[in-house]
Amino acid sequence: SLPDRAANEQVRRDDRAHVFHSWSAQNLIDPTPVARGEGATFWDYDGNEYLDFGSQLVNLNLGHQHPDLVRAIQEQAGRLATIQPSMANDVRGELARLITSKAPDGLNKVFFTNGGADANENAVRMARGYTGRRKVLTTYRSYHGSTGSAISMTGDPRRWANEPSDSSVVHFFGPYAYRSPFHSDSAEQETERALRHLEEVVMLEGPQTIAAIALETVVGTNGVLIPPPGYLQGVRELCDRHGIIYIADEVMVGFGRVGEWFAFDAFDVAPDLISFAKGVNSGYVPLGGVVIRDEIADFFGDRAYTGGLTYSGHPLGCAAGIATFEVFERDDILGRVRRLGSEVVAPTVADWASRHPSVGEVRGRGLFWAVELVRDQGTREPLVPFNASGADAAPMAELAARCKASGVWPMIHFNRLQIAPPLVIGEDDLRRGLAVIDEALAYTDKLAA
Ligand code: PLP
């Protein structure tokens, strides 16, 4: 696109004067004005081009301006732009049917929300209603959203300033082999010890007080933590034993990010409630929801479910969701994610781990990877401290700046560079973006022993 400095300045001026941004000290940020996007690329008003390696908060699974999604929204807008949730609506019903067709047996209903946080709020509300219990167990190193219960469920620093919000949430340690809270030295040990720890937490909290255990199937923002073999089955078994509802938070990893419709499909386990958002329609129109096991849906058969949202199942969002399913099937999106993940990203990042002294560990699946940066591969000291900001975070900011200067917009969180491009990224672009990161890692290597 042609540079347009006047527009650039106007966007900047309005933003700085009137837009209050998320999670930020307002004077310490400098949001980049974005002029347009297409596929895996977006452009600023100066004509600079960026490969989008974070998919705008791991949201744009089908990339910028996908023609099928844009067309579906345009057509729906021309026909029926909105309708209240208590009406029946064709696209809302069709999308619910499509989503449940990909869910495990026995999950046949969808409650639609506006996004991920309220999906988790409602999953918890359903679990509490159904079990008559109050407590919710979630892991440290997790993110579940920024509203009442969802921020309490969150196991990262974003929770700290918002406490106490929902005092019935209890945190436990999930598996994280590279920095094992259980001092284990194999995946099997990590599974076994993590399950024993959770079992003990359940015992000490009182199983009859626990409504739900909620887990990001693959922990997203907090590090692409892949559950070791057997862990999720163990959680499922523990939930069954005590009548606890298993909530799978699939907001970030559902709908293709790790090469599956739902990430738990890769781990051979079926939850009771699934919260989803983002990839269901690549965020073109805000949409999330909860997929509900029959027994829980039936519980609210003759008694009211006491929750609702004006925008629940918004027709524009649902139309984009239906188009998402069509594109996934027609273009074999899951197949290409698996292939690009295993044939392009996996070997490339494995090579980084062997060559770059600042790379402590690489891990991931499909098109979702974390590169964990360290000062020392032996001690595994993180390149920047946990929750680093300002000067402490400078090395990661400099790494990001170097990637951006070479046309790649990375996803950075604490001491990790995470790789999450749109699932439609071309193989050449993917390789080019990875090569840029490879080169930028020469900088962090200088900081490592
Ligand atoms: N759950 C997970 C795993 C997420 O990654 C996010 C957002 O990043 C959320 C919930 C919250 O979703 P939203 O920002 O749509 O409320």
- On whether both 326 and 352 belong to a single domain, the answer is no
- On whether both 364 and 312 belong to a single domain, the answer is no
Question: In Å, how far are 47, 50, 226, 323, 406 from 44, measured between CA atoms?
Answer: 6, 8, 34, 28, 14
- On whether both 396 and 431 belong to a single domain, the answer is yes
Question: 377-406, pLDDT tens digit by residue?
Answer: 999 999 999 999 999 999 999 999 999 999
- On whether both 203 and 284 belong to a single domain, the answer is yes
Domain that holds residue 159: 68-330
pLDDT at 1 over 80: no
Distance CA 197, CA 338 (A): 33
**Ligand 1 pocket test, candidate residues 152, 251, 262, most atoms within 8 A of CB:** 251
Assess whether the C-beta atom of 220 lies below 6 angstroms from ligand 1.
yes
Which atom of ligand 1 approaches the CA of 147 most closely? Answer: 16
How far, in Å, from the CA of 277 to the mean position of ligand 1?
8
How far, in Å, from the CA of 285 to the mean position of ligand 1?
15
- On whether both 278 and 344 belong to a single domain, the answer is no
Output the pLDDT for position 256. Answer: 98
Assess whether the C-beta atom of 250 lies below 6 angstroms from ligand 1.
no
Question: 235-271, pLDDT tens digit by residue?
Answer: 999 999 999 999 999 999 999 999 999 999 999 999 9
Which atom of ligand 1 approaches the CA of 57 most closely? Answer: 8
Residue 294: give its domain's CATH number. Answer: 3.40.640.10
Which atom of ligand 1 approaches the CA of 59 most closely? Answer: 8
Q: Considering only CA atoms, which residue is closest to atom 13 of ligand 1?
A: 116
- On whether both 103 and 230 belong to a single domain, the answer is yes
Question: 113-159, pLDDT tens digit by residue?
Answer: 999 999 999 999 999 999 999 999 999 999 999 999 999 999 999 99
Q: Which of 285, 300, 330 is the last residue of a domain?
A: 330
Q: Which of 287, 303, 330 is the last residue of a domain?
A: 330
Which atom of ligand 1 approaches the CA of 250 most closely? Answer: 3
Which atom of ligand 1 approaches the CA of 116 most closely? Answer: 12
Cβ 188 vs Cβ 182: under 8 Å: no
pLDDT at 81 over 70: yes
How far, in Å, from the CA of 322 to the mean position of ligand 1?
21
Q: State ipTM.
A: 0.99
Output the pLDDT for position 164. Answer: 85
Strands 49-52 and 411-413: unpaired
Assess whether the C-beta atom of 142 lies below 6 angstroms from ligand 1.
no
How far, in Å, from the CA of 387 to the mean position of ligand 1?
19
Question: 31-75, pLDDT tens digit by residue?
Answer: 999 999 999 999 999 899 999 999 999 999 999 999 999 999 999
CB burial of 228-253 (b: ≥16 within 10 Å; e: otherwise) equals bebbbebbbebbeebebbbbbbbbbb
Mean pLDDT, residues 395-420 taken together: 98
How far, in Å, from the CA of 185 to the mean position of ligand 1?
31
Q: Considering only CA atoms, which residue is closest to atom 12 of ligand 1?
A: 116
Cβ 261 vs Cβ 255: under 8 Å: yes
pLDDT at 222 over 70: yes
Q: Sorting pLDDT into bands at 50, 70 and 90, what band is 2?
A: low
pLDDT at 370 over 60: yes
Q: Sorting pLDDT into bands at 50, 70 and 90, what band is 230?
A: very high
- On whether both 56 and 171 belong to a single domain, the answer is no
Residue 408: give its domain's CATH number. Answer: 3.90.1150.10
Q: Considering only CA atoms, which residue is closest to atom 1 of ligand 1?
A: 144
Assess whether the C-beta atom of 64 lies below 6 angstroms from ligand 1.
no
Tokens of 123: 């999953």
Q: Sorting pLDDT into bands at 50, 70 and 90, what band is 6?
A: confident
Assess whether the C-beta atom of 251 lies below 6 angstroms from ligand 1.
yes
AA letter at 45: Y
Assess whether the C-beta atom of 222 lies below 6 angstroms from ligand 1.
no
How far, in Å, from the CA of 290 to the mean position of ligand 1?
13
Output the pLDDT for position 449. Answer: 82
What is the overall mean pLDDT for the chain? Answer: 97
- On whether both 302 and 382 belong to a single domain, the answer is no
- On whether both 262 and 409 belong to a single domain, the answer is no
- On whether both 58 and 76 belong to a single domain, the answer is no
The residue among 244 and 164 whose pLDDT is bigger is 244
AA letter at 401: A
- On whether both 57 and 84 belong to a single domain, the answer is no
Question: 169-205, pLDDT tens digit by residue?
Answer: 999 999 999 999 999 999 999 999 999 999 999 999 9
Q: Determine if the peptide bond prior to 164 is cis (ω within 30°).
A: yes
Which atom of ligand 1 approaches the CA of 145 most closely? Answer: 11
How many structural domains are present in the chain?
A: 2
Q: What region, left, alpha or beta, does residue 170 occupy, with left being phi > 0 and alpha being psi -120 to 50 degrees?
A: beta
Among 110, 96, 143, residue whose Cα is nearest residue 273: 110
Q: Considering only CA atoms, which residue is closest to atom 5 of ligand 1?
A: 252
pLDDT at 213 over 50: yes
**Verdict on whether the full-model pTM lies above 0.80:** yes
- On whether both 17 and 141 belong to a single domain, the answer is no
Which atom of ligand 1 approaches the CA of 216 most closely? Answer: 3
How far, in Å, from the CA of 435 to the mean position of ligand 1?
29
Q: Considering only CA atoms, which residue is closest to atom 10 of ligand 1?
A: 144
Q: Which of 312, 330, 348 is the last residue of a domain?
A: 330
Q: Sorting pLDDT into bands at 50, 70 and 90, what band is 3?
A: low
How far, in Å, from the CA of 328 to the mean position of ligand 1?
22
How far, in Å, from the CA of 121 to the mean position of ligand 1?
11
Question: 83-105, pLDDT tens digit by residue?
Answer: 999 999 999 999 999 999 999 99
